[in-house]
Every structure is written in C-alpha cells, then in structure tokens.
Structure 1
Amino acid sequence: MSDDPRLGDWLRDSALADDTRVAILGFPSDEGVRRNGGRLGAAQGPAAIREALVKMTPDARDPAPFVCLLEHAADLGDVAATGDVEADQARLGEAVGELLAAGVVPVILGGGHETAFGHFLGYVAAGQRVRALNWDAHADVRPLRDGKAHSGSPFRQMLDHPSGLCAGYTVAGLHPWRVDAAHAAVPDRVVWADDLDAARAEAEVAALDGPALASFDLDAVDAAPGVSAPGVGGLPVGVWLAAAEACGRSPHVRSVDVVELNPLHDPDGRTAVLAALTVWHVLRGLAERFSADAG
C-alpha cells in the first residue's frame, strides 16, 4: 500500500465474501425520472459517484477504523437496468434482499428516486419490517402514473405494499413550496427543512427504535445543481453530511441509498463529489458502528 491510499485501493469490483460487512451496489436507472417529468441523466449517477468516491482517502484524523471497514467492503457493480422500471426494481430488490439476509449493509448508488422502491423490495424479499427515512425536499408519495411506478412514487408504494412491511415513513428536509399539503400529510413524521440543523438531524436518527432504510435525495441540498429536480433554499451541506454519518453510525439503519445525481447537469462535478462524500460519511459512520461492536 502506498503512503497516499485512496478508497479505490479497496473498492474494486468484487464478489461477496463471508466477512463482507458493507456492499456497494449501483442502480443506473432514470426511466422513473422520465415518467415523472424530470430531466434525464440520473442513470449515469452510479458511475459518477464511484469515480469521485475512489479518489477519496480514508479519514485522515482516525484512519484505522475506516481502513478496517474498507477491508470488509465490496463493490458488487450495478444491477442491470433495462428501462422496465418495475422489472428493474424487482431485480434490485432481489439483490438487496440477499445482502440483508446475509447481514451485509447495502449502500445503493442511484439512479432516480425509483431506486428507493427497489431498495424497499429487498426487505420484502428478506421478510423484514422496516421504517423508511427519506432525506428529501419532496415527499415522493405521488400516485402511480397510468399504473406505472416513477421517481415520485416510491414511498407511497412502500406504504401501500400488500406485504405490510413498511413500518412507517419519515421525511426530513421537506420544502413547503415543493409539496402539496395532501402529500405532506401522508408521512407519519415530517421535519421541514427550516427546522433542520445538524443536531436535529442527528436526533432524528437517534430516535429510531427499529430497523430503518435511509434514502438520500440530493435535490434536498442547497449546493447540488446536478440533480434531476434542482431547487433553491435547500439544506446546508454540513447538515446533510451529519445526517449521512448518523445513519451510518446507527445500529437501526440497515441500508442506505443515495439518489438523483444527474452528471449531465453537473459540469464541474461538484454534485458528484457531494454524492460521493455522502457515501464517505455513511462509511465513516459504519466504521464507528462496527468498531464499537468489535470493542
């Protein structure tokens, strides 16, 4: 190993091993974004996130736990996306379900927010009940369009799923000007963007009392131009990253996705770096979690 190691020294295409603790999985889909009227390009998100992530270093302040986690991490590549959203989501669910059943934490790189329903289907496959925790400017509880899923419908689909395995829905970062009042009433817990700071974000994660999946939609962040549905007045980066690290650290968060990076509208790559840094903070939190478990 050189004296300037990067995450790419560990995160290479690899198979699942008996000692794998965390696995990265891409979902290069944006057909759900098209169905929802957003701008296309999120299908290129997983590749752009990986490109930025592998250039990052383990935490220079305390590298040992981070390196230990990386030694038990795998990048399983991408789930094939064909443009058939429902079939692609089912395929993602099968892959996530296998990881959950093996006790591995999946970190899923989207893709549009249709990723999140495929993510949830992993819990259906594993027969595990889970709460959804969505960091987002939108509630994403729109009805299906002509009976078809899209990037604005995943959390309604979770709540309505006949398995009954969605234990509830929290959305944090919601903008009052980007969501209809009827949609804001669907989650059982809403935290508005104006009420979020780093301490509140960490408190929301700490309040979890059962298994949870965390979904990070980059359009919630103020400094994120390269997304499918850009806005203004979003969360400060520090708040967002505090939430990501808290989710990695929490023993209740069993899986994470990072979605809606659109490299076609990210000419200087800053949003890709933000997406990769979100994953980095999740990994740092996981390193702390597993280090505590080992201790």
Structure 2
Amino acid sequence: MSAAASGWSGRVDLPEGPATRRWHQWVREPVAGSAPGVAVLGFASDEGVRRNGGRVGAAEGPAALRAMLSNLPVLDETPLYDAGTVNVVDGDLEGAQQRYAEKLAALLDAGHLPVGLGGGHEIAFATYQGLAQHLGERRPRVAIVNIDAHFDLRRQDRGSSGTPFLQAIEHAVARGLPLEYWVYGISLSANTRMLFDTADALGVHYVRDDELGVLDLPARIAQLQAKLANVDVVYQTICLDALPHAVAPGVSAPSARGVPLEVVEPLLDAVAATGKLKVLDVAELSPPHDRDKVTARVAARLIHRVAHAAGRAAGT
C-alpha cells in the first residue's frame, strides 16, 4: 500500500529531507517487526449515529482526516504508520467493532500508539475492546478520559454512538478490570437527568463545559494531574462536538457552547505528558456538514499535537 493509494498526498518542500518532511512523506504500512510508532486506524462508521438519532456523515471521517493530516509537518523521528480502515458493512456495527478491536490490539501488542480516526463515537467501545484484548489477564488501573459534551452512557437495545462508555464500564466490571471514566465538557443542555443519575451511580468524574473556562484551567489541570497519578493506563478519546460550533461545525450534534481549544489542548497535554497514554481516538467528524473543512483541520491539529507530545513523553 503506497501512501498516495491510501489517501496520503500533499505538498513537497525543497530541499527534501527530515527538516521539510510532512506526514504524507513519512507514513508507511506497518509490517511485522516495524519499529514502534504512531499508527492511525480508521473506523468508517455512522451506523451508531444513525441508531442514536443523529445526523449521519461520520463514515466519511477517516478519509477527511487523512487528507488533512497529510500536510502536517513531521516534528520528530517517531515512525508513522497507516493500518487501514475498518468499514461497517450492511449495518453490522458489532462485527465492525470486533474487527477494529482485533486490529487495534495487534498494534498495541507491537508497541505502537494507535490513533483511531472516526467515525461516530461508537468507535469508543471498539477501542476499549481492543485495549482490553491487549491487556489480557493483566489488571492495570485504566482511565478513559473523554472530552465530550455528552456522557454516552445510554442504555439501549443495541449499541450506538450514545452507549459506548456504559458498554465499556459493564465489560470491565464483568472481567474485573479496574476502570475509571472521566468526562470533560459535559453540557447541561445535552444530557437528561437520567444520564446524570447514571453517571453519579457509576462514579463517573465529570466537569461541565461551563466549568472549563480559561480562568478555571489551572485548577482543572492540577486536579487532572492528581487523578492521572493514580492510574496506570490511559485511553484518551475526543468527541469533536465538545468544541464550540464556530470551531467544529462538522459534527453529528453541534455544540451550543463548547470548550475552547485554549482549554482542550492543555488538558490533552497533561494526559500525554504522563507517558501513560496507550491509545487515542477522535470521533464524530462529519465531513458533509463541515464548513470549509474547519472541523477536520481542528481534529488533525489535535491528533498532531497529542502524537508529538506522547512521543516526547516516551522519549522517542
């Protein structure tokens, strides 16, 4: 698989070399024995959004993200891989989630930092399952850190973009895996009382969007750092609908307020700096609703920032 064939292409600066390199020039297909690096893995799905009553379009997210990541500069020597895309076929979300989980677990087993390109937030249960598969019989203390306007703790007959973290929590309880779930950006106007009650009953730590202003940031960062000190493994997930509509219009459910990038980026930096980040994904990019590709640009910036910060923390 060449980079161009998989959707990676862009500008080439002269003279060509490490100092002018961009992602499309650096990305490769992972093979057995590849040096550990960052490995993107697409999940082309809006089946979960459809089941949850949202506006569809997120299945186009992985391709749009690759296109936007292509021109970003390579800031270090960390290898970069593209592990392909898992597609939902004939509405079989559960089958696609299992295939994605198996691919992600293999990337983790090989020492890579997988970066999931969504797709709806149903990617999260697939990511969690892959992490759990990788951990096997080990029982480290795991934290899911979610930047999101929604809890996604719905109880429904079938899994959707609104159920992944309840599914993950129940799966972890069943297998005795210590799992904590923290959400930053919760909107009072986007979650029912039932969802708040469910979060409270499950011991979910959450911070509302109106508690995440720039002036609140030092206290929130200190609190997050204290919590991170007590876990061993972190799965970071970003739902783009947590951002203000002006920054992220191309999502399934645009935010009426949102959390500014000036707050989101330092939160992500704090997670990456621990060296405990094992997997990252970005969800809910819906290219058909994205004005001037603004949301895709922001999502690519966040992936680029976290991947570089995680590499620095790992000493690569």
TM over 0.5: yes
Q: Deviations over 1:187-220 (max 9, x none)?
A: 5211111222443554354231221211100000
Cα gap change, 1:31 to 1:220, in 2 (>3 Å): same
Cα gap change, 1:16 to 1:22, in 2 (>3 Å): farther
The structural deviation recorded for 1:237 is 1.6
The structural deviation recorded for 1:15 is 3.2
Counterpart contact for 2:122–2:163, Cα < 8 Å: yes
1:163 counterpart residue number: 175
The structural deviation recorded for 1:253 is 1.8
Query: AA paired with 2:147?
Result: W
Counterpart contact for 1:205–1:250, Cα < 8 Å: no
Cα gap change, 1:51 to 1:16, in 2 (>3 Å): farther
1:111 counterpart residue number: 119
User: Which piece of structure 1 moves more, 205-214 or 110-119?
Assistant: 205-214
2:81 counterpart residue number: 74
40, 51, 75: which one pairs with 1:35? 51
Gaps of 5+ in 2: 1-15
Cα gap change, 1:140 to 1:274, in 2 (>3 Å): same
Gaps of 5+ in 1: 59-65
The structural deviation recorded for 1:252 is 1.9
What is the DSSP-based 3-state SS (H/G/I as helix, E as strand, rest coil) of the residue aligned with 1:212? strand
How far apart in 2 are the matches of 1:9 and 1:204?
A: 39
How far apart in 2 are the matches of 1:204 and 1:43?
A: 35
Counterpart contact for 2:28–2:80, Cα < 8 Å: no
Query: AA paired with 2:210?
Result: D
Question: Which of structures 1 and 2 has the bigger CA Rg?
Answer: 2
What is the DSSP-based 3-state SS (H/G/I as helix, E as strand, rest coil) of the residue aligned with 1:68? coil
Counterpart contact for 2:275–2:314, Cα < 8 Å: no
Q: Deviations over 1:223-275 (max 9, x none)?
A: 21000111221011222222233333322221111000000001310000011
The structural deviation recorded for 1:166 is 5.3
Counterpart contact for 1:11–1:75, Cα < 8 Å: yes
| 1:43-82 equivalent positions in 2, closer than 5 A | 43-58=59-74, 66-69=75-78, 72-82=79-89
Number of equivalent positions: 281
Note if 1:142 corresponds to 2:158: no
TM-score by length of 2: 0.83
User: Which piece of structure 1 moves more, 199-208 or 119-128?
Assistant: 199-208
Cα gap change, 1:205 to 1:104, in 2 (>3 Å): farther
Percent identity over the alignment?
A: 37
Query: AA paired with 1:151?
Result: S
How far apart in 2 are the matches of 1:55 and 1:232?
A: 31
TM-score by length of 1: 0.89
Note if 1:213 corresponds to 2:235: yes
Note if 1:24 corresponds to 2:40: yes
Q: Deviations over 1:115-172 (max 9, x none)?
A: 000000012212255221111000000012xx21000000010111132435121111
Query: AA paired with 1:212?
Result: V
Cα gap change, 1:269 to 1:179, in 2 (>3 Å): same
107, 132, 137: which one pairs with 1:124? 132
284, 289, 295: which one pairs with 2:313? 289
Query: AA paired with 1:244?
Result: L
Counterpart contact for 2:76–2:308, Cα < 8 Å: no
Query: AA paired with 2:76?
Result: V
Note if 1:175 corresponds to 2:187: yes
What is the DSSP-based 3-state SS (H/G/I as helix, E as strand, rest coil) of the residue aligned with 2:100? helix
Cα gap change, 1:166 to 1:273, in 2 (>3 Å): farther
How far apart in 2 are the matches of 1:102 and 1:85?
A: 26
1:260 counterpart residue number: 284
Counterpart contact for 2:277–2:310, Cα < 8 Å: no
Cα gap change, 1:16 to 1:176, in 2 (>3 Å): farther
2:218 counterpart residue number: 199
Counterpart contact for 2:147–2:239, Cα < 8 Å: yes
